[in-house]
Amino acid sequence: MTIGKSILRCASVLTTASAVFWIGMACAAPPLPQHAGNPAALFAPVMQDPEEVADGNFVLAANLRRQLVGYPNTAAAGTIIIDTAHTYLYYVLGNGQAIRYGIGVGRDGFTWSGSQSVTRMAEWPDWTPPKQMIARQPYLPRFMAGGKGNPLGARAIYLGSTVYRIHGTNAPQSIGTKVSSGCIRLTNADVADLYSRVTVGTEVIVLPSHRQVAATSVPARTHAPLTADLRATGIY
Question: Do the Cβ atoms of 180 and 104 come closer than 8 Å?
Answer: yes
> Which residue type, as a one-letter code, is found at position 43?
F
Task: Give Cα 111 to chain centroid, integer Å.
Answer: 23
Task: Tell me the β-bridge partners of 117.
Answer: 203
CA–CA separation, 204 and 7 (whole Å): 90
CA–CA separation, 135 and 131 (whole Å): 6
What's the length of the chain? Answer: 236
CA–CA separation, 2 and 23 (whole Å): 32
Active site residues: 167, 183
Closest CA to 152 of 111, 119, 115, 122: 122
> Which residue type, as a one-letter code, is found at position 3?
I
Cβ of 36: how many Cβ atoms within 10 Å? 10
> What is the number of helices (H) and of strands (E) in the chain?
5, 11
> Which residue type, as a one-letter code, is found at position 147?
G
